[in-house]
Amino acid sequence: MQKKKSRPDHRVYYWMILPAIFIYAALYLYPAISNLRYSLTRWDGIGTPKFVGLHNFTNMLTNDDLFFKVLGNNVRFSLLVVTLQTAFALFFAIFLVKNTRTTIFLRTLYFFPTILSSVSVAMIWLFLYDPNFGAINVGLKKFGLNSFALNWLGSENSALYAIAFTQIWFHTGQMMVIYIAGLQQIPLELYEAAEVDGASKWQQFKSVTWPMALPTTAVVIAYTTIQSFRAFDLVYAMTQGGPNNSSSILATLIYLTAFNEFRLGYAAAQSILMVITIVILTLVQRRVIRTKYGV
């Protein structure tokens, strides 16, 4: 009642949202909800799903070291990618915010990996990381840095980080462009004023760029987090999660549980725990950004 009186616009708003919500609900939410149903079953994708209650969840929490290992991998992977990629993107954006011939050229270059397909990127880095022929190790050995020439994707200690680095290489340019768009919104007067006050570049960054770019940072971080949880293509094409699941992330674990082992009910349950993890992480992030910087 009250809605109608005070906010007659709302009806128009509903109409504006309707097409989006319709497609989204039918093609995304509905399958997701079916998945919720499957998570309570044992299902091999062939017969009829058999209802097992919360068994999948209790098993995962009490009898599945692999799940926790992979969850840990995923958190490490995400933290690394989010921190480094955001930092790189911000710094490159600051360096390249002005429009000159060189900066435009470098922006174009940095964005370049983004337009490659993820399968291409995976294949390129699979080649670069080859422990015996790959350009990285061949280069390191040429400079006498033999002890740095690791078995990148073949060792449990380095595979996850090697893929994280590829992910950063792949997407930093994209985030940099977002940052440039954000930084160019900052009024130049603020910098001029800071310069008049004799502020150094670092002080300018601390007092002007960082606070003014916070909303952009929030978007970049939120997006990078989700993107890192979905780095399915790279992991799947480069290591399939190996060796010994050291580079598995939740997305590949779920995919392989469902389609390599045909435990679709269990995979559905894993994916629900993954959703919960992401939601918690995102909320924590927002809380931290909000309380620390008052955005």
Partner 1 sequence: MKTKRIASFGALRLGVISTLALALVITPLGVGMAASTPSFGKSCPTEGTSTGTSSKSLQCTKNSSGKLTWVYVRLGSSTLSPVPALSAPDGTIEFWHWRAEDKIVLQSIIDKFEAANPGTYINQVIMPSGDYTNTAYAKIRTNPKAAIFATFRGSQFAQFAKGDMMTDLNSQRYTKRNVVANGLVAGQYGGKQLGIPYQYLFNNPVYNTAIFAKEKWALPTNLTTLLSWCKTAKAAGYTPLAWSGGFRPNAGQILNSMLMNSAPDYATLQNRIEAIDTGSADLTSPWFTDMANKYKKMADAGCFPENATGVTDAAALNLFATGKAAVLPTGSFSMGAVKAINPDMSGKMNLFSLITTDDKPQYVGIHNNTFILSVNKNATRTNQKIANAFISYLVTGSIAGIYANATSQHVNVLDVNYTNVDLLNTSAWQAKKTLLAPRFLWLNQGVRDLVEDALIAIVGGKPVDATLADFSKQIKQKLSA
Partner 2 sequence: MYKVLRTLALTTFAIAIVIPTAIVALGSFKSDVEVYSKPLALPTNWSFRNYNRLISDGGIFTNFKNSVIVTSFSVVLTLILASMAAFAISRMTNVTGRVLFGLFALGLAIPGQVNIIPIYLLFQRLHLTNSLLGLVLINIATTLPISIFILTSFFRELPKEMFEVSAIDGAGPFQIYRSIALPLSRPAMGATSIFLFVISWNDLLYPLLLVTQSDKKTLPLALLDYRGEYATSFSMIFTAVMVASIPMVVMYLFMQRSFIAGLTAGAVKG
DSSP state of 51: E
**Amino acid symbol at 293:** Y
Q: Does 284 sit near partner 2 (CB under 8 A)?
A: no
Q: Which one among 67, 88, 152, 266 touches partner 2, defined by CB under 8 A?
A: 88
Q: How far is the CB of 86 from partner 2 (least distance, A)?
A: 15
Q: Which stretch binds partner 2 (CB under 8 A): 53-61, 87-95, 144-152, 190-198?
A: 87-95
- Asked if 254 contacts 79 with a C-beta cutoff of 8 angstroms, the reply is no
In the three-class reduction of DSSP (H, G, I as helix; E, B as strand; rest coil), residue 155 is classed as coil
Residue 28, binding choice from partner 2, partner 1, none, Cβ under 5 to 8 Å by partner class = partner 2
Residue 201, binding choice from partner 1, partner 2, none, Cβ under 5 to 8 Å by partner class = partner 2
Q: Which stretch binds partner 1 (CB under 8 A): 101-109, 214-222, 256-264, 282-290?
A: 256-264
Report 52-81 residues binding partner 2 (CB under 8 A). none
The H-or-E segment that residue 41 falls in is strand 41-42
| Closest alpha carbon to 90 in 200, 204, 214, 191 | 214
Q: How far is the CB of 144 from partner 1 (least distance, A)?
A: 18
Q: Which one among 35, 75, 130, 282 touches partner 1, defined by CB under 8 A?
A: 130
Residue 63, binding choice from partner 1, partner 2, none, Cβ under 5 to 8 Å by partner class = partner 1
**Amino acid symbol at 250:** L
| Closest alpha carbon to 171 in 123, 126, 212, 225 | 225
Token look-up 């880095």 returns: 125
Token look-up 């954000």 returns: 182
Report 22-51 residues binding partner 1 (CB under 8 A). 45-46
Rg (CA), the chain: 23
